Structure 1
Amino acid sequence: MSDSPNITAISWLSILLLGFVWGGTFLVIELALQTMTPFWIAAARIGFATLLTLVIWSILGRKLWLSSHQAWGSLIIVGIASSALPFMLLSWGLQYVTSGFAGVSMAAVALLVLPLSHFLVAGERMTLRKTLGLTVGFCGVVILIGGNAFTSTGSELETLGRLACLGAAACYAVSSIIMRRLPAVDPIGLAAVPLVFG
């Protein structure tokens, strides 16, 4: 019996759509920074996503916790680390770096999750295959975005902007580990409630 997932054409289309939406976000933020401040952009993103997910969740009428065990403290941390903090860091950092650099920074999330999972998630171990796969994937992102991702903008705060983008990637990695350690929870609720805290 094989444990490998059944990957269909819909799976690939979903990945392409996710990549387009997530990757396009950096360009949209860069354009929005011409007329809005970084923290208003972060607030607008969180506010819109919160309203959308809460509406969907309320229509479905599901409860949040699927067992008697609840972890509200962890959920608050997920809200801060998966939306509030990284959205602010990215919006601020994109004032001083290119959207290409921000995109490459987000590819680093997977590289951060692998070693964290090894130590913090039961049953998740780093293997040579996983390490090679992530390395090849990260190199692929760099090649697709091109060498311009690392081109300097000339801003004197560029180094801090790059650190902010990498900090956002670290937030996403940490929040994904915390989510994996949560008790049984409704997936739509898990999208909505942390946004409320964010």
Structure 2
Amino acid sequence: MSGSPVADLAPAPRDWLSAAELTLLGAIWGGSFLFMRIAAGDFGPIALVETRLVFGVLLLLPFLWRVRDRLRTAHWLRFALVGALNSAIPFVLFAWGAERAPAGIGAISNSMTVLFTILVGVAAFGERIGTWRALALVGGFVGVVVLASGRTSGTNVGQAALAGTLASLCYGIAINLVKRYLTDLPPGAIAAGTLTCSTIFVAPLAWWAWPATSIPLRSWACAITLGVLCTGFAYALMYRLVQRVGAARASTTTYLIPIFGVGWAWLFLGEQPTPTMLIAGVLILGCVILSQREQPRRV
């Protein structure tokens, strides 16, 4: 989400604290793929996402309550659209992929969010990009092809990589919509409003798809952690960073997510990264960093 121009230009105080919080945020969001990998098989993707949304939105509702007098019907319509694209659909896609492939696949795919944000800005909103960003987009998509072509223990991971890439596309669309149509509200209120709508959207499907067998305690713990830590707390931490150091610097946590995602899965699940995962991760992450070398130009 974009911060104010003043916030982006202001010097960042207490850089050591900001760096520590950015690292913590990358570790938390990287861990979300580990938790999904553990719990998705017992919950199923839709029930898992609804559980995550419920616990996440409970922590963020105070942000929405503070601006309740400013909310209009138009806000809720925008919350609904952005909520579908920024939470409901991508969360389900990532959880669906987590049933089928190592956690690192989703974490690496998630890095494409930055590149899709640029692409949607160009295709839908007339932004112009220079040579570096154009090269980054091409290289990033090559990385996705490499990732989708890999195999882990004889299992093709192409479907999971495609699901993660589509999820990142949804994120890219949502970010552009928020930047243009929800700038009149604080980021915390936007997150609470969009997550509230997402929770409502997914609820009927979760009721229909709720597993008939009992869910192990371990999976419940992972689902609740996804909601409380990886959604509610992480969103709140992100907004704290946006307000302190600006949106541009806060977004650098994206670089850390695949590193932690692959690392946690390796450490706790024994999912060793394959050569294609490493090549794709380096290629996509390198292109994300390359894409930040210049600012987009508007028509």
TM-score by length of 1: 0.76
Q: Report the equivalent of 1:103.
A: 107
Show the 5 A alignment for 1:6-85. Answer: 6-7=11-12, 8-58=15-65, 61-63=66-68, 65=70, 70-85=74-89
Q: Deviations over 1:126-182 (max 9, x none)?
A: 23455678899x7xxx9xxxx9xx5435346x4322221111111111111111111
Aligned pairs, number: 183
Q: 1:126 aligns with which of 124, 129, 140?
A: 129
Q: Report the equivalent of 1:182.
A: 181
CA contact (8 A) 2:113 2:169 kept: yes
Deviation at 1:64, TM superposition (A): 6.9
Gap change, CA 1:64 and 1:152, over 3 Å in 2? farther
Task: Give distance in 2, aligned partners of 1:13 and 1:89.
Answer: 30
Give the gaps of 5 or more residues in structure 1. Answer: none
Deviation at 1:14, TM superposition (A): 2.4
Q: Deviations over 1:14-45 (max 9, x none)?
A: 22111111111001111113432221111111
- Local SS of the residue matching 1:33: helix
| Aligned amino acid, residue 62 of structure 1 | V
Q: Report the equivalent of 1:87.
A: 91
Deviation at 1:77, TM superposition (A): 0.8
CA contact (8 A) 2:45 2:92 kept: yes
Gap change, CA 1:153 and 1:91, over 3 Å in 2? farther
| Aligned amino acid, residue 54 of structure 1 | L
Q: Which moved more, 1:35-44 or 1:7-16?
A: 7-16
Deviation at 1:63, TM superposition (A): 3.4
Deviation at 1:65, TM superposition (A): 4.2
Task: Give distance in 1, aligned partners of 2:132 and 2:19.
Answer: 21
Task: Give distance in 1, aligned partners of 2:75 and 2:63.
Answer: 22
Higher helix share: 2
Task: Give distance in 1, aligned partners of 2:107 and 2:177.
Answer: 23
Q: Which moved more, 1:21-30 or 1:178-187?
A: 178-187
Gap change, CA 1:65 and 1:17, over 3 Å in 2? farther
Deviation at 1:113, TM superposition (A): 0.8
> Is structure 2 residue 171 aligned with structure 1 residue 167?
no
CA contact (8 A) 2:82 2:177 kept: yes
| Aligned amino acid, residue 197 of structure 1 | C
Task: Give distance in 2, aligned partners of 1:130 and 1:64.
Answer: 41
Q: Deviations over 1:71-130 (max 9, x none)?
A: 4332211011111111111111111111111111000111111122234457x5423455
- Local SS of the residue matching 1:6: coil
TM-score by length of 2: 0.53
Identity over aligned pairs, percent: 25
Gap change, CA 1:54 and 1:69, over 3 Å in 2? closer
Gap change, CA 1:134 and 1:65, over 3 Å in 2? farther
Task: Give distance in 2, aligned partners of 1:165 and 1:115.
Answer: 17
CA contact (8 A) 2:41 2:99 kept: no
Aligned CA RMSD, in angstroms, stands at 3.2
Give the gaps of 5 or more residues in structure 2. Answer: 1-5, 199-299
- Local SS of the residue matching 2:93: helix
CA contact (8 A) 2:115 2:136 kept: no
